[in-house]
Amino acid sequence: MGRLHQYLTTLASILSGILNVWPSYTLSYYTSQNTTLLSAPMTSMESSLLGSLPALGALLGTACAGMIIDGFGRKKGGIVIAMPYLFSWLMIDMTSSSIVILVARFVAGIAAGASSVHAPIYISEIAEESIRGALGSAPIASYCIGAMVSYLMGWMLPYRYIIWSGIGLCVIYIGLLMSVKESPVFLMRKNREEEARQSIAHYRGEDLDSKVVMEELSRLKQRLLPAVELVPINESEVEKAEKENLNGDNDETVEHKRMPSYKMLFVSASSRRAFTTVGLVISLQVMMGMVPVQVYAKDIFTKAAPSLSSHMCSVMFAFVLMAGSLSCALFSDRFGRKPLLLSSAIGVCLCLITMGVLMQTNIAPPWVSAVLILMYCFAFSFGAGSVPYLLLSEVFVSEVQNLASMILMEWVWLLNFGILAIFPFMVQYFGVHGSFYFFAVFAVLDIIVALVIVPETKGLTKEQIQEAFLGRRQK
């Protein structure tokens, strides 16, 4: 039961998945000259904004996430963050104006951006080390489940029922979040030790006085005492520190070494290298093109395989994406992060190049292109799409986790907005095949980064991960 409570904290990504792929099957309703849903059909600019505005709203949500979860806590902050999802669906349900719908998409993006920061922070503070890989991959798996649910709704349900389903899912998520406990890390920082002990017992499924709970509470106390920079030290410094401890000067030393998170992030060699590494893999993940392919999946399948049902292909697309992300969650703690990232990037590169050639030359039946798109989805979500977010939740010490997550997710949403905004024009001027060649270049770069820069973090504690980024071998 304790592990189930841990996984409940990752379900906001289902709402993000529904949000992002909704334009894929709704856009045709809004752009039709005979539309009855809007007072006037959407223009080409409005159509582009329908897919890209959530990414712009996410920039604002990401910037506000730290203040929300530090002010309200991880649990109550998560509930506050989920509210814009609910408000956006209600706005769409009650309007026939294109402008209001675009504003609603922006509002929903605020929630998506804040959730992308909230999830890795919450996970890093409650996850057991034995399932840290699976739990860190769970938001991506949840996102894919949301995408599949959304495509199924677009295939089977009328327009209004889709919106009402979105409202209902938001209410269910908020209710589930009310059933979990606050993060023990947050509670300890507020000097609420007894509540922190109850929280640990809740997430571990153990009794309050059990050995597991007491040991973890003790480790948490030790971990939160000093916020210090991890830097190489020589033997004389070690001897000096030991003397200071013997003389009772430890409190003064800790206070002297304590530093703010923004300084620690960029001054500490381990935090700086972790930030650079995660920034690279997460940027390349965006530039491999999965987000625009998701948003415009129905149109892409229509061009790639016109004889097949685009709705059916979109559902298969989301199913394969979900299978890949679940496989990552299953195997990341068995095989490690680096092998998954490397094999995934190679698979993505081969699929993108092959898809580009086939769609440019038409030398194969259309169904082959559709199958290759599905293979691309699986290869991407198996590692390249999931491992960067897993690394985001595990490689930073708690003192810099909030700030690092906020900055990196701001950058991700900015990239998403840019690529979603230009993707329709890329297809118009270079064709779908040209867009795939463009994405393949970044898959090649991801292979290089996975080989040269990314360290293996499977089974390592936070302290050992910092050592790995400093280039120290683990004994």
Instruction: Convert the pLDDT of each residue in 386-395 to its tens digit.
Output: 888 888 878 8
Cβ atoms of residues 458 and 336 within 8 Å: yes
Containing H/E element for 209?
none
CA distances from 165 to 9, 19, 44, 159, 312 (A): 21, 12, 28, 10, 20
Q: Does domain 2-180+268-467 have CATH number 1.20.1260.10?
A: no
* 414: three-class secondary structure by DSSP: helix
Name the region of 461 (left: φ>0; alpha: ψ -120 to 50; beta: rest). beta
Predicted pLDDT of residue 242: 43
Note the pLDDT of residue 259: 67
Please tell me the predicted confidence (pLDDT) of residue 282: 92
Question: What confidence score (pLDDT) does residue 171 get?
Answer: 93
pLDDT recorded at residue 5:
58
Q: Which residues contact 458 (CB under 8 A, 6 or more apart)?
A: 133, 332, 333, 335, 336, 337
DSSP H helical segments within 250-397, as ranges? 250-257, 261-267, 269-287, 290-295, 297-304, 310-335, 337-361, 366-379, 387-394
In this predicted structure, what is the pLDDT of residue 244?
47
- Give, in degrees to the nearest 5, the angle at Cα 274 between 268 and 278: 150
* Residue for token pair 């002990």: 197
Cα 390 from Cα 395, distance rounded (Å): 9
Q: At what angle do helices 159-177 and 74-93 cross, to 10 degrees?
A: 170
What number of other Cβ atoms are within 10 A of residue 444's Cβ? 16
How far apart CA 471 and CA 343 sit, in angstroms, is: 23
| Cα separation, 170 vs 158, whole angstroms | 19
| Residue stretches of the chain with pLDDT short of 70 | 1-10, 129-134, 136-137, 223-259, 294-301, 303-308, 310, 472-475
Residue intervals in the chain for CATH 1.20.1250.20: 2-180+268-467
Exposure string for 278-308, b = 16+ CB within 10 A, e = fewer: bbbbbbbbbbbbbbbbbbbbbbbbebbbeeb
- Cβ(37)–Cβ(101) below 8 Å: no
Alpha-helix runs per DSSP H in 73-131: 74-93, 98-126
Classify residue 239 by burial, with Cβ atoms within 10 Å: 0-12, 13-18, 19+: exposed
